[in-house]
Chain A
Amino acid sequence: MSQQEARPGLLQINGRAAPALQLLGLVASALGLGLALAGILGAGAPLAIAGLALLGIGLPALAGASALQRQVDTPVTGWRGPGPVATFFATLPWVVLAPVVLVIATAPFGGFDRLDPAIATLLQVLVGSLATAAVIGLTVVGSGAATWRDLVSATPAAAAPTLPPPDRRGGLLGDLAWGLAIPIPVLAGASIVASFLVSSSGAVPPSPLPPAGNLLQLCANLITAGLIAPIGEELLYRGVIAQAWGRQSGPRRAIIFSTLLFAFAHTLNLGGTTISEGLLIAIVAFAIRLPLGLALGWLWVRRRSLVATIMLHAVYNIAIVLISS
């Protein structure tokens, strides 16, 4: 960075003139983070919600700004969307806020509390998934980094020199076949990991779904776990995050980092009565998601198709819902 370069005015980031979007993102994110932290520290839940909402504006703005920057300085074959971690965090506030949105939305109809817990969870996951899709639509598709088709299946535009050519044998049917075949070994592996961890640590992470007492609840749970969650999560973790890392660096990073973020996201809504108990539960919850995450990442690299990974994810989730009920 040369000293001779003319210093731009107040609106600068890292010494260069900042696009308004980036500045907005930075200020909104920092304010939102501050408010959210203050709320968590005890200044009150409304502040925390306001902070999250601000973060929900600021972080997508930052992600969008970063995508615009990459449009300029990244080759076409590389990843020109927002960074994978940025995308992940940009979707997070609204996923966390989904219940609040629902509480507000259902207030005229008697309130969120009166809903069946299974339906409530379904709606919550639905809102979270829609929010995720919206953020991806704004920051990835909207910035022109990729089209929806690029995210869903291996279009020629999504071909990258850093990734091996996809195995597209069998086409869509092949995707479905892979998705049906892999869950069995993955389930076996995951159950071994889970039983070892649960027995050695004593911490049992609670299921993200409410227990199904009747057929309606079971159906709702099946729709949540077998349809909505897989679509929303695959769009984010494989469609954008694995793709971004794959096109930036290569398949190994794509698999590993998308798995880590995937597992990490599943620890966020957990807690314990003490800090150490909460930590232990979170670690267990993290670890038991790793086998599935790795399998999904590997399958995506191989097939480069969200159809395959959604199928795998759905079959895996449905199996777990059925087993546990």
Chain B
Amino acid sequence: MTDPFKDFLEELERRQRDGAPKPDATPDEDGQPPRPRARRPGGSAPRTPGRSRLPLSLLLVPVVIAVVFVTGPLVGLITDSRWFTSLGAGALFWQRLQIQGTLFTSATAVSFAFLLIMLLFAGWLARHDAADAAPAEQVRRQRPPLVDERGQIQLDALLGSFEGGSFSRNGLPPALLRIGALLVAIFIGIQASSSWEVISLWQHAVSYDPSGASVVDPIFGRDISFYLFSLPVLRLAQSIGSTLLLAALILSGIRYIPGIAQRGLAALGSAPRFHLALMIGGLLLITAYGYQLDKAELVYSTSGASTGVSYTDVAARMPAFDILTVFAAIAAAFLVGAALTRTVWPLVLTLVLWGSASVALTGLYPEFVQRFQVTPNEFALEEPYIANNLKMTRLAFGLDHWSELQYGGEETLTAAAIAKDAESFTDARLWDYRPLQATLDQLQTVRQYYNFVDVDVDRYEINGRQRLMMLSARELNPQRALQSATWVNRHIAFTHGIGIAMVPVSGVADGGLPELVIRDIPPVSSAGAPVVSEPRIYFGELDDDWVIVGAKTPEFDYPVGDAASGDTTSGDATTSWTGTSGIPLKTFIDRLLFAIRLGDLNLLISDQVTTDSQLLWRRTIGERVTALAPFVKWDGDPYLVVRKDGGLSYMIDGYTTSDRFPNASLFDPYGLGISALDAPVNYIRNSVKATIDLYTGETLLYVADSADPIVRAWSGVFPGLLHPLTEMPADLQAHLRVGEDGFDAATRVYARYHVTEPQTFYRQDDVWTVPESAAGAQSLPGEAYYVRVRLPGEKSTEFALIQPLVPTNRPNMIAWVAARNDGSNYGQVVSYRFPKDSSVFGPSQIGARIDADPIISAQTTLWDQSGSTVTRGNLIVTPIGGTLVYLQPVYLQSTASSFPEFQKIVAATSTKVVWGNTLTEALNLLVGGGVVDPGNGGTQPSDVAGLVAKASRLFDQAQAALRAGDFARYGDRIAALQVVLQALADLTGSTTP
């Protein structure tokens, strides 16, 4: 292949020779000297042999470039739209694109038109001015042409136009100015389209309160929606406006430079001066308006004793911004006046005053007020502003709806109290989700390509009673399946995970293993657990590859046959996805598009792919919900739900947030493990719930908080995207819960903003915090946890999300917060506060006491040596009547088997720490006997005869179990016997044997 560039150079040389004024060499019709033709190489140039090579080879270059640069984005766009269509949101994709496109084109067009008009205007005025000023003088000197007669580009001329002399005489070529204008316009277009979320929200702004009643900020009295929706847009408009006017000023100014250079600014005609003055005046007015926005944005001021408008802001900064507004506006008026009258001194005076006022009023004076007025008397002056901050922050994080109850918490725990709250212990969390996940991964993955990603806690109706279960999906892990990663295996055979594992949170089976009520492949349910009839998991939490369903080779479903006997391959069950929501690969074009997009040639050429095949792509929950609603912050932990129809769904909580709530403090999620939030916010609502069907991938979003103005505004932007919660199927509604990330954020704000007294807040002597991870490397970090518990004052147990709180710098527990989830109580948050001088133990104190307990410590140290490690789970604080019981499971993990086994449960009150093999045993030790296994119901006999009879019965059972070789049952009976004997001992007053 010949070098096209070389060809090009040769051709140029040749044409320079041809283009020389040799009349005989140019067979032009009229015999005139040839005009420069450099701009039109393919035009009517004289035909000579060998020319035809050039255009062909040259044409290829731009074609290839165009193909590379256009195809990529185009294919990306088309494939994205196909994917959105498969997600059931094709219209949404185009609508979003349309919003951005419209913003870009309209902003660019309007800006460009404005700049062009300004340029035209300037050009016209400059010409007239020059003609008026010096009609005789030849103002416009001939510029050397950019392209000379021989068709060569004259770089000298181009550069020359930038050099001082020539530039100031002639100005920049108008074309360059227009290109500059276009670039500025495109920049503004990009700015507008990248702010599409802000602009769309503003277009569909709603009042803060759904009823339309105005909820206003305490300083300016504007509805909060002004700050959430309008103020950001006003700021954007102000910035775009000043960019635009500045560009117009510079471009027009360049146009006027020749005139100014020749005759000076003072001698410039009235019209150009007026034009320039109007633009500068406009800029000054925009600056003046900027001061007003600055004033409004004082609601975000962090100076003073609290976030938001403070005393200094009111006393010094607000008037300062008004005065500066006046100065800027007067400067604008004097500027126009100066342009008309050439009287400059008022303008200069104003500018000087403005400049010094700017320094004095925004810099020095507020400092002065702060230092000499506020600091010596801070609380007295700041009190109303602290009260504003308290009120608005509590409003912004929804804390104003939290109810507070006093809670003693220091009553003595008795067996009777435990019996009364036996229900709360039925579902005591003996399993922590972290060790359980490791255990499930060892016990239940069955094949190496499966993986339990995450264990979720949720409540289920089991045998007619609400029970707390832990469950996890067995997803396909392509990383683990890499050993067998042929193309067909990877994209056609291994398409899905299968089944789930479910364990009651209190279910410990033999050997400290989880009591699996849903297990194996295909999943088998027992003990009243819900039946999973569609266990296949095509969409999940795991990062996964794209797959093709409906290919010639059927999909691998699950291994059949005994893994031990070795015949795993022969008996594999196969299946074929029956969904319709994949991306169809009917035509060659479909396959070509996705082959390009996914960078996989096999997709195009493999005869595995048929016209019935569908592509499943971007199958993780995060990708799907984020694609549908990028404006929602999604909880880091989707949770698995077994539906009534036996299908599986994931549910995930979504939060609408803002950092524009007036006078509310920012909450910084950095380093707190709240994965939903990536930036500081000062407003959050758990307003969206999403459900994803694990088989079909159907992803639906529901509005969970219809009072939230942000979600109402988004519903206006994308009607049909967010469904009302009433449309959610009832079996999924039963699994709704308060999202953990949002609760964590609100609790942490509550830890500081539980106070309503400015004085207390100001003294900062009642600041709480979330107890950080308990002492010792053996313990897992504490966090908010879902439990089934009877809240004090309530009749029955319920599913609640609980977070204990401690004062900063003091380990005692000061309060615990419970978010309720069931039925009509959904979303209610109750804070149970201990007296301020409470000596109720906090988690770290309990942790320390556990560490210091001689029995536990000795045993733990013994275990935690080479060969095994001890892990303690989340410390669960359970309210029982008027006191608290702390429960912490202990797991032992052998380094060889590498899955944790449940060993002991630590039960503690503020006064006593014990542990037992079972919860009943531990509780009995805690209260000195009398506790009956809450799982079995029934009561302990209270008389000696009854106890002796029961002891005898238990002993018989234990013996029977021993004969049968059932050591677990034997241990259980003996433990129960020990409890009865303890009760007997208590009754008879003798010491424990």
Q: B332-349 CB contact bits vs A (8 Å, 1 = yes)? A: 111011000111011000
> In residues 311-351 of chain B, which contact A (Cβ within 8 Å)?
322, 325-334, 336-337, 341-343, 345-346
Whole-angstrom distance between the Cβ of A170 and the nearest chain B Cβ: 46
A44 to B323, CA, bound (A): 11
Stretch at the interface among A28-36, A149-157, A192-200: A28-36
A33 to B340, CA, bound (A): 15
Chain B, residue nearest A40 (CB)? B329
A15 to B285, CA, bound (A): 27
A35 to B331, CA, bound (A): 10
State whether the Cβ of B229 lies closer than 8 Å to any Cβ in chain A.
no
Whole-angstrom distance between the Cβ of A289 and the nearest chain B Cβ: 27
Contact check, B346 vs A41: say whether CB atoms are below 8 A apart: no
Contact check, B330 vs A13: say whether CB atoms are below 8 A apart: no
Q: B341-365 CB contact bits vs A (8 Å, 1 = yes)? A: 1110110000000000000000000
Whole-angstrom distance between the Cβ of A22 and the nearest chain B Cβ: 9
A31: B residues at CB distance < 8 A: 330, 333
Contact check, B285 vs A13: say whether CB atoms are below 8 A apart: no
Most B-side CB within 10 Å, residue of A32, A36, A41: A41
State whether the Cβ of B613 lies closer than 8 Å to any Cβ in chain A.
no
Chain A, residue nearest B331 (CB)? A34
A35: B residues at CB distance < 8 A: 326, 329-330
State whether the Cβ of B289 lies closer than 8 Å to any Cβ in chain A.
yes
State whether the Cβ of A176 lies closer than 8 Å to any Cβ in chain B.
no
State whether the Cβ of B275 lies closer than 8 Å to any Cβ in chain A.
no
State whether the Cβ of A14 lies closer than 8 Å to any Cβ in chain B.
yes
A14 to B267, CA, bound (A): 11
Chain B, residue nearest A10 (CB)? B345
Most B-side CB within 10 Å, residue of A18, A32, A34, A47: A34
Given contacts A30-B337, A31-B333, A42-B289, contact A13 B343 (CB under 8 A): yes
Contact check, B337 vs A37: say whether CB atoms are below 8 A apart: no
Whole-angstrom distance between the Cβ of A36 and the nearest chain B Cβ: 8
| Number of A-B residue pairs with CB-CB distance less than 8 Å in the complex they form | 73
Contact check, A37 vs B342: say whether CB atoms are below 8 A apart: no
Contact check, A38 vs B325: say whether CB atoms are below 8 A apart: yes
State whether the Cβ of A133 lies closer than 8 Å to any Cβ in chain B.
no
Contact check, B346 vs A34: say whether CB atoms are below 8 A apart: no
Most B-side CB within 10 Å, residue of A10, A42, A47: A42
Contact check, A42 vs B295: say whether CB atoms are below 8 A apart: yes
Whole-angstrom distance between the Cβ of B116 and the nearest chain A Cβ: 22
A18: B residues at CB distance < 8 A: 343
Most A-side CB within 10 Å, residue of B330, B333, B334: B333
A27 to B347, CA, bound (A): 10
Q: How many B residues have CB within 8 A of the partner chain? A: 24
State whether the Cβ of A12 lies closer than 8 Å to any Cβ in chain B.
yes
Contact check, A34 vs B322: say whether CB atoms are below 8 A apart: no
Contact check, B342 vs A15: say whether CB atoms are below 8 A apart: yes
Whole-angstrom distance between the Cβ of B110 and the nearest chain A Cβ: 13
B243: A residues at CB distance < 8 A: none
A196 to B514, CA, bound (A): 81
B331: A residues at CB distance < 8 A: 34
Whole-angstrom distance between the Cβ of A56 and the nearest chain B Cβ: 15
> In residues 41-56 of chain A, which contact B (Cβ within 8 Å)?
41-44, 47
Q: How many A residues have CB within 8 A of the partner chain? A: 24
A27: B residues at CB distance < 8 A: 346
State whether the Cβ of A26 lies closer than 8 Å to any Cβ in chain B.
yes
Which of A30, A36, A43 is in CB contact (< 8 Å) with B292? A43
Contact check, A41 vs B292: say whether CB atoms are below 8 A apart: yes
Which of B288, B295, B322, B342 is in CB contact (< 8 Å) with A14? B342
Most B-side CB within 10 Å, residue of A13, A18, A31: A31
Contact check, B330 vs A41: say whether CB atoms are below 8 A apart: no
Contact check, A41 vs B288: say whether CB atoms are below 8 A apart: yes
Contact check, A47 vs B343: say whether CB atoms are below 8 A apart: no
A209 to B264, CA, bound (A): 53
A14: B residues at CB distance < 8 A: 341-343
Contact check, B325 vs A30: say whether CB atoms are below 8 A apart: no
A288 to B325, CA, bound (A): 37
Most A-side CB within 10 Å, residue of B289, B331, B343: B343
Whole-angstrom distance between the Cβ of B475 and the nearest chain A Cβ: 51
A36 to B345, CA, bound (A): 21
Contact check, A42 vs B342: say whether CB atoms are below 8 A apart: no
B345: A residues at CB distance < 8 A: 10
Contact check, B325 vs A26: say whether CB atoms are below 8 A apart: no
A314 to B322, CA, bound (A): 45
Contact check, A44 vs B341: say whether CB atoms are below 8 A apart: no
Contact check, A33 vs B343: say whether CB atoms are below 8 A apart: no
Contact check, A34 vs B292: say whether CB atoms are below 8 A apart: no
A30: B residues at CB distance < 8 A: 330, 333-334, 336-337, 346
Most B-side CB within 10 Å, residue of A12, A26, A43: A43
Contact check, B342 vs A38: say whether CB atoms are below 8 A apart: no
Which of A23, A29, A38 is in CB contact (< 8 Å) with B322? A38
Contact check, B341 vs A41: say whether CB atoms are below 8 A apart: no
Contact check, A34 vs B329: say whether CB atoms are below 8 A apart: yes
Which of A10, A12, A26, A41 is in CB contact (< 8 Å) with B285? A41
> In residues 278-310 of chain A, which contact B (Cβ within 8 Å)?
none
Contact check, A29 vs B292: say whether CB atoms are below 8 A apart: no
Contact check, A38 vs B341: say whether CB atoms are below 8 A apart: no
B292: A residues at CB distance < 8 A: 41-43
Q: B292-303 CB contact bits vs A (8 Å, 1 = yes)? A: 100110000000
A47: B residues at CB distance < 8 A: 322, 326
Which of B296, B328, B333 is in CB contact (< 8 Å) with A33? B333
Whole-angstrom distance between the Cβ of B314 and the nearest chain A Cβ: 14
Contact check, A43 vs B341: say whether CB atoms are below 8 A apart: no
A136 to B345, CA, bound (A): 31
Which of B296, B333, B346 is in CB contact (< 8 Å) with A37? B333
B289: A residues at CB distance < 8 A: 41-42
Whole-angstrom distance between the Cβ of A213 and the nearest chain B Cβ: 29
Contact check, B343 vs A34: say whether CB atoms are below 8 A apart: no
Which of B296, B322, B334, B346 is in CB contact (< 8 Å) with A44? B322
Which of A10, A13, A38 is in CB contact (< 8 Å) with B326? A38
Chain A, residue nearest B335 (CB)? A30
Contact check, A38 vs B288: say whether CB atoms are below 8 A apart: yes
B343: A residues at CB distance < 8 A: 12-14, 18, 23, 26
Chain B, residue nearest A11 (CB)? B343
Chain B, residue nearest A35 (CB)? B326
A41: B residues at CB distance < 8 A: 285, 288-289, 292, 325, 329
Given contacts A10-B345, A15-B342, A41-B288, contact A34 B332 (CB under 8 A): yes
B333: A residues at CB distance < 8 A: 29-34, 37
A34 to B336, CA, bound (A): 11
Chain A, residue nearest B334 (CB)? A30
A307 to B197, CA, bound (A): 60
Whole-angstrom distance between the Cβ of B331 and the nearest chain A Cβ: 7
Contact check, B325 vs A13: say whether CB atoms are below 8 A apart: no
Whole-angstrom distance between the Cβ of A228 and the nearest chain B Cβ: 32
Given contacts A26-B343, A30-B346, A42-B292, contact A37 B332 (CB under 8 A): yes
A15 to B327, CA, bound (A): 26
A47 to B332, CA, bound (A): 16
A37: B residues at CB distance < 8 A: 285, 288, 329, 332-333
User: Could you give 24 example pairs across A and B, Cβ below 8 Å?
Assistant: A12-B343, A13-B341, A13-B342, A13-B343, A14-B341, A18-B343, A29-B337, A30-B330, A30-B336, A34-B326, A34-B327, A35-B329, A37-B285, A37-B288, A38-B288, A38-B322, A38-B325, A38-B326, A38-B329, A38-B330, A41-B292, A42-B292, A42-B296, A47-B326
20 further A-B contacts with Cβ under 8 Å, apart from A14-B342, A38-B288, are A13-B343, A23-B343, A26-B341, A29-B333, A30-B333, A31-B330, A31-B333, A32-B333, A33-B333, A34-B326, A34-B332, A34-B334, A35-B326, A35-B330, A37-B288, A38-B326, A38-B329, A41-B288, A42-B292, A43-B325
List the 6 shortest-distance A-B pairs measured between CB atoms, nearest first.
A34-B330, A42-B292, A33-B333, A30-B333, A37-B329, A34-B329
User: Measuring CB to CB, which residues of chain A are less than 8 angstroms from any residue of chain B?
Assistant: 10, 12-15, 18, 23, 26-27, 29-38, 41-44, 47
